[in-house]
């Protein structure tokens, strides 16, 4: 137990130092300003001295404008005009949404002290007096105080990854993000088995003790019947964007995805002889058919360039991508192409290139996915690809030291669920925001 506490302390200190070096302010709980999520220290002093005598709070109802909501809450017409005119500098009230909330603070003479308009837990706008004149007001997007809890979640596969994450009360965005990390190493549609285990260390954000969304996955692992897969987020010094690496420093992402669809059901395998369901003749099926709902987004399996985007006989709407190293990938029976997908267009791995459909000779919505290597079609599920990159030198040494500590936390089944709690002052979605 002592080792566990010491280990968590060491790792959290490193984690905290990394986070506080970002553009967002990080505060300990006793440093958090409890009044109004103030944007500046100057105005925190003003609002503290002028305590509101009256606070008008409300929520936009369906079919209602901000003006109607203020009238319904019996705000004086002069104040109503002042609030709307002031906040209109930063808020387009033509786009009011049901559920948007507001708070108007008035002094004992009925004068405006402060007004906030909240379009969600991460989007708050404020109207306050200028520091030089209480008669002139300024509007701005306000910072928000969120509580970030670094949390470890674990689960066992009973039927599917989605089902297992649902049982630990994790939302689909976290499930998709977890699957996306291992998309080049593991196909969660075909390679999961009963009893497989997963562990994930992730940021959970709360506002006023209410969960508002997940942040970055810091570390993750998946153990199946054959082997284990691990991934750790690491941002080398001097870089503005990190990646996920395994325990040896190899990037988890490889040059090709295991599948261009996030979820599907295999309806036809790669074979040299298959009875065509429509033509009723035997012929090779040099790809895999992946059934999914119409409109399911299709990702580019690898970086490349569009070699063809159009109608190709029985394949219907088809995209063919050309990749370095003599590779081509084929995506058939699409319902439509993604915006901008045309011959010669460069695409990045995981970029959306089209949507599942049933065009051409097809008995139902699915994707016919194929890979050709140096002119020869190969079974996509049997191919092995190299990692995109690998850390080395001092960067690798630094990574191995940090990764080892995260790895022990993942393996430690007695580690507490909540590893760290801190308050962060943010402007907009936090880094790594999943929602």
The string of pLDDT tens digits covering residues 312-326 is 988 999 999 999 989
List, for residues 344-363, the tens digit of each pLDDT value.
999 999 999 999 999 998 88
Residue whose structure tokens are 């967002």: 24
Cβ pair 218, 174 in contact under 8 A = no
417: how many CB neighbours lie within 10 A of its CB? Answer: 9
For the chain, what is the largest distance between any 2 Cα atoms, rounded to a whole number of angstroms? 87
DSSP output for 358-413: --SS-SSSEEEEEEEETTEEE-GGG----BS-B--HHHHHHHHHHHHHHHHHHH-T
Please state whether 257 falls in left (phi above 0), alpha (psi between -120 and 50) or beta. Answer: beta
> Considering the chain, what is the average pLDDT of its residues?
84
Question: Given 1.20.140.10, 3.30.590.10, 2.70.70.10, 2.60.40.10, which CATH number is that of 265-382?
Answer: 2.70.70.10
pLDDT of residue 245: 95
Local confidence band at 329 (pLDDT 50, 70, 90 cut-offs): very high
Least confident window among 1-5, 63-67, 393-397? 1-5
Average pLDDT over residues 195-204: 95
Identify the CA nearest to 252 among candidates 226, 225, 222. 222
What radius of gyration, in Å, describes the C-alpha atoms of the chain? Answer: 27
Pick the CATH number of 146-254+388-426 from 3.40.50.800, 3.20.20.80, 3.10.450.350, 3.30.420.40: 3.10.450.350
Which letter does DSSP use for residue 182 in this model? T
Residue 402 binned pLDDT confidence (cut-offs 50, 70, 90): confident
Query: Of 358, 368, 371, 378, which is closest to residue 289 (Cα–Cα)?
Result: 368
Q: C-alpha angle with apex 301: 296 to 303, nearest 5 degrees?
A: 125
The pLDDT-based confidence of 141 (bands split at 50, 70, 90) is very high
Burial of residue 256 (number of CB atoms within 10 Å: 0-12, 13-18, 19+): buried
In the chain, what are the domain boundaries? 38-142, 146-254+388-426, 265-382
Model confidence over 51-110: pLDDT tens digits? 777 888 999 999 999 999 999 988 888 888 999 998 999 999 888 899 999 999 888 888
- pLDDT higher than threshold 50 for residue 6: no
Q: Which of the following CATH numbers is that of domain 38-142: 3.30.1300.10, 1.10.645.10, 3.30.1490.20, 3.10.450.350?
A: 3.10.450.350
pLDDT at position 48: 39
- How buried is residue 17: exposed, middle or buried, by Cβ count under 10 Å (0-12/13-18/19+)? exposed
pLDDT at residue 386, rounded to an integer: 84
- Average pLDDT of the segment spanning 152-172: 91
- The mean pLDDT of 133-154, rounded to a whole number, is 88
Would the CATH topology of 38-142 be identical to that of 265-382?
A: no
What's the per-residue H, E or C state across 22-64? Answer: CCCEEECHHHCCCCCCCCCHHHHHHHHHCCCCEEEEEECCCCC
Q: Is it the case that residue 195 has pLDDT exceeding 60?
A: yes
Note the pLDDT of residue 4. Answer: 44
């Amino acid at each position: 137990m002592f080792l566990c506490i010491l280990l968590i302390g060491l790792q959290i200190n490193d984690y905290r130092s990394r986070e506080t070096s970002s553009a967002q302010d990080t505060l300990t709980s006793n440093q958090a300003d409890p009044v109004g999520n103030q944007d500046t220290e100057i105005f925190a002093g003003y609002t503290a001295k002028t305590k509101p005598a009256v606070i008008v709070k409300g929520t936009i109802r369906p079919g209602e404008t901000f003006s109607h909501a203020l009238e319904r809450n019996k705000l004086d017409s002069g104040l109503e005009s002042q609030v709307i005119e002031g906040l209109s500098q930063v808020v387009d009230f033509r786009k009011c949404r049901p559920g948007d909330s507001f708070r108007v603070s008035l002094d004992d003479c009925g004068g405006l002290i402060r007004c906030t308009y909240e379009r969600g837990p991460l989007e708050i706008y404020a109207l306050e007096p200028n520091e030089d004149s209480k008669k002139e007001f300024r509007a701005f997007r306000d910072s928000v105080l969120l509580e970030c809890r670094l949390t470890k979640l674990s689960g066992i596969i009973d039927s599917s990854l989605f089902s297992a994450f649902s049982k630990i009360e994790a939302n689909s965005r976290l499930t998709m993000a977890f699957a996306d990390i291992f998309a080049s190493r593991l196909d969660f549609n075909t390679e999961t088995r009963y009893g497989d285990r997963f562990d994930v260390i992730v940021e959970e954000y709360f506002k006023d003790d209410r969960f508002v969304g997940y942040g970055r996955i810091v570390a993750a692992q998946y153990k199946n019947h054959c082997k284990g897969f691990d991934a750790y987020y690491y941002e080398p010094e001097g870089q503005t964007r990190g990646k996920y690496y395994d325990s040896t420093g190899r990037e988890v992402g490889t040059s090709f995805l295991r599948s261009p669809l996030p979820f599907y059901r295999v309806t036809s395998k790669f074979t040299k002889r298959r009875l065509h369901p429509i033509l009723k003749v035997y012929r090779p099926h040099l790809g895999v058919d992946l059934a999914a709902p119409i409109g399911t987004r299709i990702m580019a399996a690898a970086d490349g360039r569009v070699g063809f985007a159009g109608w190709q006989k029985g394949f219907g709407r088809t995209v063919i991508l050309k990749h370095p190293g003599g590779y081509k990938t084929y995506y058939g029976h699409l319902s439509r192409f993604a915006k901008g997908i045309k011959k010669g267009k460069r695409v990045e791995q995981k970029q959306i290139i089209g949507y599942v459909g049933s065009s051409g000779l097809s008995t139902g919505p699915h994707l016919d996915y194929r890979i050709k290597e140096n002119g020869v079609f190969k079974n996509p599920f049997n191919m092995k690809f190299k990692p995109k990159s690998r850390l080395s030198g001092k960067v690798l040494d630094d990574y191995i030291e940090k990764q080892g500590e995260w790895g022990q936390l993942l393996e430690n089944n007695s580690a507490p669920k909540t590893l760290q709690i801190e308050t962060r002052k943010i402007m907009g979605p936090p880094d790594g925001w999943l929602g």
